[in-house]
């Protein structure tokens, strides 16, 4: 299916019935990364797995700014009349979802971000090299945005009220201490470390997050920690 959002045709899959759940992929990926969890999740949720602009089967070019993707996601939710969805977002998609939660405080019900960094201090040096090659040699816009954009401030993070799991792989190039830092700033967030997992190994074409999502999203009420 496709919906016109901010002048671009956004492709998405919709499957199942129940509480709405949006799956947001990261840069350099598309919604096919969730192919193994969509059907099991659809037993309990109305699952929306979308391709960000310029990715997968969506139209347009990759966004030049994170804010464009935030605006697209907000417009997608409103255009399809999705009421307070849960959201699982990976990588740069997690930054998009966190920014959405900051700018639109009541738009999400619960949020899981995985493999997400909120400023340049959260990246191990080897990833700067990898993304630098993508940016300067290949001209990759996703890499340029990741290396040059301003991210969420500590003040913004403190204002995000949505219940949130901040997930990181034990062997991720996103620093565990960085994820611990921003999860402690958010009033209703906590850290989850995936043992032995790399950056995308537990999300990309994987079932490893399925139980995590079901356990966290199953409670439709407010979470108290």
pLDDT 10s digits, 167-200: 999 999 999 999 999 999 999 999 999 999 999 9
| Tokens encoding 144 | 């340029």
In a domain, 172, yes or no: yes
pLDDT of residue 221: 53
Convert the pLDDT of each residue in 12-59 to its tens digit: 999 999 999 999 999 999 999 999 999 999 999 999 999 999 999 999
In a domain, 35, yes or no: yes
Percentage with pLDDT > 90 across the chain: 82
pLDDT of residue 139: 66
In a domain, 53, yes or no: yes
In a domain, 220, yes or no: no
**Rg of the chain in Å (alpha carbons):** 16
Domain count, the chain: 1
Least confident of 65-79, 103-117, 144-158, 160-174: 144-158
For residue 125, name the pLDDT band (cuts at 50, 70, 90): confident
| DSSP run (H or E) holding 114 | strand 111-114
* Structural domain containing residue 87: 2-213
For residue 149, name the pLDDT band (cuts at 50, 70, 90): confident
In our burial notation (b when 16+ CB lie closer than 10 A, e otherwise), range 154-175 reads eebbeebebbbbbbbbeebbbb
| DSSP run (H or E) holding 177 | helix 176-185
Report the CATH number at residue 118: 3.40.50.1820
pLDDT of residue 225: 43
Instruction: Round the average pLDDT of the chain to a whole number and report it.
Output: 92
| Eight-class DSSP state of 119 | S
In a domain, 183, yes or no: yes
Of 56, 9, 54, the closest CA to residue 32 belongs to: 56
In a domain, 223, yes or no: no
Q: What is the pTM of this model?
A: 0.94
In a domain, 224, yes or no: no
């Amino acid at each position: 299916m496709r919906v016109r959002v901010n002048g671009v045709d956004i492709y998405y899959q919709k499957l199942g019935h129940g509480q709405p759940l949006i799956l947001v992929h990261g840069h350099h990926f598309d919604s096919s990364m969730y192919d193994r969890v969509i059907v099991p999740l659809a037993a309990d949720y109305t699952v929306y797995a979308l391709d960000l602009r310029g990715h997968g089967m969506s139209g347009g070019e990759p966004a030049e700014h994170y804010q464009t993707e935030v605006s697209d996601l907000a417009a997608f939710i409103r255009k399809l009349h999705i009421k307070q969805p849960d959201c699982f977002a990976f990588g740069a998609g997690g930054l998009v979802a966190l920014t959405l939660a900051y700018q639109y405080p009541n738009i999400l019900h619960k949020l899981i971000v995985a493999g997400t960094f909120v400023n340049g201090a959260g990246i191990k040096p080897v990833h700067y090299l990898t993304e630098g090659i993508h940016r300067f040699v290949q001209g990759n816009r996703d890499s340029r945005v990741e290396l040059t954009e301003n991210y969420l401030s500590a003040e913004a993070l403190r204002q995000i009220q949505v219940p949130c799991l901040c997930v990181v792989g034990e062997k991720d190039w996103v620093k565990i201490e960085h994820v611990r830092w921003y999860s402690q700033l958010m009033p209703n967030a906590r850290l989850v470390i995936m043992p032995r997992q790399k950056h995308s190994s537990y999300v990309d074409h994987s079932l490893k997050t399925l139980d995590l999502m079901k356990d966290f999203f199953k409670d439709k009420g407010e979470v108290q920690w």
